[in-house]
Amino acid sequence: MSDRVPVLIAGAGLSGLSTAVFLGLHGVPALVVERHASTSVQPKARGQQPHVMETMRLAGIDEQFVAASPKSRGFVLRIVESAAGPVFREILHDTYLKLDHLTPARSADASQASAERILLARARELGGEVRFATTLESFEQDEHGVRALLRDSGGTREIRADHLVGADGVRSPVRETAGIGTHGRGTLGHTILWLVRADLRHVVGERQVMYYMQNPRLSGGTGVLASTDAPDEFLVGVGYDPERESLADFTPDRALEQIRLIAGAPDLRAEILNADTTVASVRVADRFSAGRVHLVGDAAHTMPPQGGMGGNTAMMDGFHLAWKLAAVLRGEAGPGLLASHDEERRPIGELIAENQYRNAVVRNAPEWAEPDQEPPIEEPGLLLFGHRHPGAVVREPDDDGEVLEEPTRPTGRPGSRAPHVWLSTPDGRVSTIDHFGRGFVLLTESQSWAEAARDVAADLGVRLTPLLLGDDLTGDWTKPYGVTPEGASLIRPDFVIAWRSPGPGTRADLKAALTKILSR
């Protein structure tokens, strides 16, 4: 007899643990298996942009991310010859984006190691089970679910799951077993990374730094220096050609030479704590779903690190997938709702992967530039809050399905993010965003629309509540949402506008819209 779980997640990185957290918020316990013995012990990707922090607010752990952020005096991102200079270009001088006009959330700068620990604890609090040192050996699926074989130190065990989420990284055995290919620019370059303990205050001060080096004296002509959670520890990397050399060729003396070139300090004393290799690539899965198998994070899209959106996008994959899985598992939605995971998240994955490639060209590899190479998108508001999800919505006739929409000029169209608008209450102000995330919400000033929402929720058996603005809850919301005071806007659990009625309508209109969105 095999055990049965609603959702089996392969991989306990940022994407897998985020998916487990958001499933837990929707009342669905997940089983997460991870082949490693623990969460990441390396700093890896760091930083949580405001759109991710909105979701962490919903999960109740945003303050933990802020607390895990280094207490430094600012952040600087530069293209340089060495940490000591000269500086070719300064790209950022503050990691905490000021986007108060778009969101009530702030940024954080926790490392991947810290982020995974926070997510792990919250996933378990919400009923998820996470097993380390456990490998997904094989799986097969049919119309009834997924049968998976797990292996740990005690042997093998069979698990039956309704759905399997592949969050198992770049090489993703889940993706390969599901028969999903990839496309994209492929492998871009190889890097050797050292975790180094050294006193670099004379060149970086007390700031968090990310320096990209362009220096012909470095291996591969490129390098990187990045702060970690510890003020005297840094990630230092250089390019190399795996066809001609390996990690073993970088002896302690050669490694120290490269580290000193990056620091711009010929007499630097440095202790190498760890050495590893990494590969930069641009690959996107051809499909993000295949039957009952769904991909998130690096299993779905890999990209160079330049731009800092890889980890953020991985976490958002889980946020947008979890409510759909929960709705199907609760019987509120038909299985067709899950087809929108590919329709909505793949174009975003492709856009961000390509944009990070363009960043890599500018920051590290100008020789990769093509004659008609477009510059990267550098407007943070557009990249964070401009993504559209026009799959599980009622699209309007003039909607051409574009991937981005300028969030400073919101249209309120289905598929776009519900705009942040401050609302006044007797106890102070709150954001519209703070009312979303647990189920569908119908935003309206109309009592008749509010009554229609209650009726439709009862008829369809779905989590739909009205947010009725009036005497004690007021705000200038109608223009950003593209409706009149007699209208209504239906918001999905992932902050996406699913449907709207610019003016008065009927209960039947709302029911028909929700039935379509949920593929019933």
108 three-class SS: strand
| Tokens found for residue 231 | 């003020």
Q: Does domain 184-281 have CATH number 3.90.180.10?
A: no
| C-alpha span between 44 and 218 (Å, rounded) | 22
Question: How many C-beta atoms surround the C-beta of residue 232 within 10 A?
Answer: 12
**240 bridge partner residues:** 190
The C-alpha atoms of residue 270 and residue 256 are separated, in whole angstroms, by 7
What CA–CA distance (Å, rounded) separates 25 from 413?
Answer: 27
- Measured from the Cβ of residue 338, the count of other Cβ atoms closer than 10 Å reads 22
pLDDT digits (tens, 9 = 90+) for 360-380: 888 877 878 888 888 999 888
Q: Report how far residue 430's alpha carbon sits from residue 432's, in angstroms, rounded to the nearest whole number.
A: 7
Which of 311, 293, 292 lies closest to 302 in space, CA to CA?
A: 311
Distances (CA, A) of 420 to 105, 107, 292, 430, 480: 10, 16, 34, 10, 9
Gap between the Cα atoms of 196 and 268, Å rounded: 11
Tell me the CATH number of domain 386-517, given options 3.40.50.1860, 3.40.30.120, 3.40.50.150, 3.20.20.80.
3.40.30.120
CA distances from 421 to 88, 477, 480 (A): 40, 6, 8
End-to-end CA distance of the chain: 33
Q: Give the residues of the chain that fall short of pLDDT 50.
A: 1, 95
Residue among 212, 240, 357, 481 flagged as catalytic: 212
Among candidate residues 62, 8, 199, 34, the one with its CA nearest the CA of residue 131? 34
For residue 482, the SS3 value is coil
Q: Which residues contact 319 (CB under 8 A, 6 or more apart)?
A: 18, 22, 55, 494
Residue 253 CB contacts under 8 Å (≥ 6 apart), including other chains:
none
Torsions phi, psi of 498, nearest 5?
A: -100, -30
Integer angstrom CA distances of residue 3 from 31, 146, 325: 11, 12, 19
Backbone phi, psi, residue 53, to 5°: -65, -25
Closest to 517 (Cα-Cα) out of 386, 329, 327: 327
State the burial class of residue 402 (Cβ atoms within 10 Å of its Cβ: 0-12, 13-18, 19+).
Answer: exposed
Element of type H or E holding 57: helix 50-59
* Separation between Cα atoms, residue 43 and residue 239, nearest integer Å: 19
Radius of gyration over every alpha carbon of the chain, rounded to an integer in angstroms? 24
211 carries an active-site annotation: no
> Which residue type sits at 263?
A
HEC-encoded secondary structure of 409-467: CCCCCCCCECCCCEEEECCEEEEHHHHCCCCEEEEECCHHHHHHHHHHHHHHCCCEEEE
DSSP string covering 243-274: TT--GGGS-HHHHHHHHHHHHT-TT--EEEEE
For the beta carbon of residue 506, count every other beta carbon within 10 angstroms: 12
* Prior bond of 86 cis (ω within 30°): yes
Neighbours of 374 (CB within 10 A): 9
**Beta strand extents in 30-134 (DSSP E only):** 30-33, 46-48, 75-80, 87-92, 108-111, 129-131
Torsion of CA 512, 515, 516, 519, to 10 degrees: -160
Distance of alpha carbon 415 from alpha carbon 429, whole angstroms: 26
Pairwise CA distance, residues 381 & 97, whole Å = 9
On whether the CB atoms of residues 166 and 178 are closer than 8 A, the answer is yes
CA distances from 160 to 5, 10, 175, 180, 326 (A): 6, 14, 18, 22, 17
In the chain, domain spans? 3-68+107-183+282-382, 184-281, 386-517
Do 449 and 417 contact (CB within 8 A), yes or no?
Answer: no
Task: Write out the two tokens for 481.
Answer: 């949402």
Can you name the CATH fold of 3-68+107-183+282-382?
A: FAD/NAD(P)-binding domain (3.50.50)
Tokens of 509: 């209109």
Give CA–CA dist 157/174, Å, rounded. 17
CB atoms within 10 A of CB 97: 17
